């Protein structure tokens, strides 16, 4: 989420990635603004989450009444308290002052192991996932919810649709970026994100099929180059859906976070709220 002293801005973990491969990085495309109806065709299920009227995140429909986003968007930065769902609105396909659909939120469920106060680096990223249940489903032929995919691999070509500071009035599309590595369930990606991009869908392509493979949680630094961090959906998404449907959380193995090198060569040296 961006803006406002009362709101959360969790895009500040810093990585020192010494050994991550950057193959394909030079082929990454720049951001394209989806300013017109033609440009944004097919992306109407991505929208802006307006939060307390002072900040925003990005979210995307995975069902007519379910929005996938980052868990930290649900917390007040200053107090650490949950933000009342009555202060959150989903604006599907928000573009140049208008949305294709407006919906209030009935219920918000964050991953049960997400700790907003955690300074645990990657541990915060891997659990940084939430689902919002809307008061009324969005049933519009131009707004089609996205399916999800549980897991992708290092080297996978992905795309991101997001809002951010400086480009908050229309979504931006980065057609080509790449998964640079995987650390304890968190993807390190070359995608271009900024404040407000929290919760943005990361898309993987399967022929003509486009599915959400991750959700943007943070931005980071890799040898002076900005990268993005996203949660893998395998496991965490099912856990949240079980919470939402009242079945209770599935027991999951807690991942320990250790300072030092991982299989990706990444080392978390600092993690700050801002």
**pLDDT value for 255:** 28
Helices (H), 9-159: 122-126
- Range with the poorest average pLDDT among 22-31, 58-67, 81-90, 260-269: 260-269
pLDDT in tens, 93-117: 999 999 999 999 999 999 999 988 8
Instruction: Name which of 178, 200, 225, 176 is nearest 29 in CA terms.
Output: 176
- Range with the poorest average pLDDT among 25-29, 128-132, 262-266: 262-266
Kindly state the percentage of the chain with pLDDT values over 70: 78
Q: Which residue has the tokens 């200053």?
A: 78
Is the predicted pLDDT of residue 128 greater than 80, yes or no? Answer: yes
CA 174/CA 29 separation, integer angstroms:
6
pLDDT mean across residues, the chain: 79
What is the DSSP annotation of 142-207? TB-PPEE-S---TT-EEEEEE--TT-TTS-EEEEEEEEEEEETTEEEE-----TT-TT-EEEEEET
**pLDDT value for 247:** 60
Mean pLDDT along residues 11-24: 32
- Please give the torsion angle defined by the CA atoms of residues 94, 99, 100 and 102, in that order, rounded to the nearest 10 degrees: 110
pLDDT band at 26 (very low <50, low <70, confident <90, very high): very low
Q: Tell me if 27 sits within 8 A of 33, measured CB to CB.
A: no
- Range with the poorest average pLDDT among 17-31, 139-153, 190-204: 17-31
Is the predicted pLDDT of residue 193 greater than 70, yes or no? Answer: yes
User: Which residue did the predictor score with more confidence, 3 or 101?
Assistant: 101
Is the predicted pLDDT of residue 185 greater than 50, yes or no? Answer: yes
The alpha carbon of residue 84 and the mean position of all alpha carbons in its chain are separated, in whole angstroms, by: 20
pLDDT band at 195 (very low <50, low <70, confident <90, very high): confident
- Judge: domain 13-271, CATH 3.60.15.10: no
- Range with the poorest average pLDDT among 89-103, 140-154, 234-248: 234-248
**pLDDT value for 78:** 83
Is the predicted pLDDT of residue 272 greater than 80, yes or no? Answer: no
pLDDT band at 38 (very low <50, low <70, confident <90, very high): confident
The alpha carbon of residue 234 and the mean position of all alpha carbons in its chain are separated, in whole angstroms, by: 15
Mean pLDDT along residues 136-164: 93
pLDDT band at 120 (very low <50, low <70, confident <90, very high): low
Is the predicted pLDDT of residue 177 greater than 70, yes or no? Answer: yes
């Amino acid at each position: 989420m961006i803006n406002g002293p009362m709101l959360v801005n969790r895009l500040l973990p810093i990585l020192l990635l010494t050994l991550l491969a950057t193959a394909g990085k030079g082929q990454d495309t720049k951001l394209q603004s989806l300013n017109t109806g033609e440009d944004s065709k097919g992306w109407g299920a991505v929208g802006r989450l307006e939060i307390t009227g002072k900040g925003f995140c990005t979210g995307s429909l995975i069902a007519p009444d379910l929005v996938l986003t980052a868990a930290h968007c649900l917390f007040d930065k200053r107090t650490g308290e949950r933000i009342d769902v009555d202060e959150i609105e989903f604006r599907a396909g928000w573009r140049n002052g208008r949305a294709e659909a407006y919906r209030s939120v009935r219920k918000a469920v964050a991953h049960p192991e997400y700790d907003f106060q955690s300074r645990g680096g990657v541990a915060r990223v891997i659990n940084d996932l939430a689902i919002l249940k809307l008061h009324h489903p969005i049933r519009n032929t131009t707004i089609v919810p996205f399916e999800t995919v549980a897991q992708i691999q290092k080297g996978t070509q992905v795309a991101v649709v997001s809002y951010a500071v400086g480009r908050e009035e229309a979504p931006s599309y980065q057609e080509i970026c790449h998964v640079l590595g995987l650390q304890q369930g968190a993807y390190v990606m070359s995608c271009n994100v900024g404040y407000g991009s929290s919760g943005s869908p990361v898309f993987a392509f399967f022929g003509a099929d486009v599915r959400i493979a991750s959700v943007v949680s943070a931005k980071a630094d890799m040898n002076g180059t900005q990268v993005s961090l996203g949660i893998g959906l395998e496991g965490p998404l099912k856990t949240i859906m079980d919470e939402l449907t009242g079945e209770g959380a599935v027991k999951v193995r807690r991942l320990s976070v250790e300072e030092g090198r991982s299989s990706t060569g990444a080392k978390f040296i600092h993690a700050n709220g801002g």
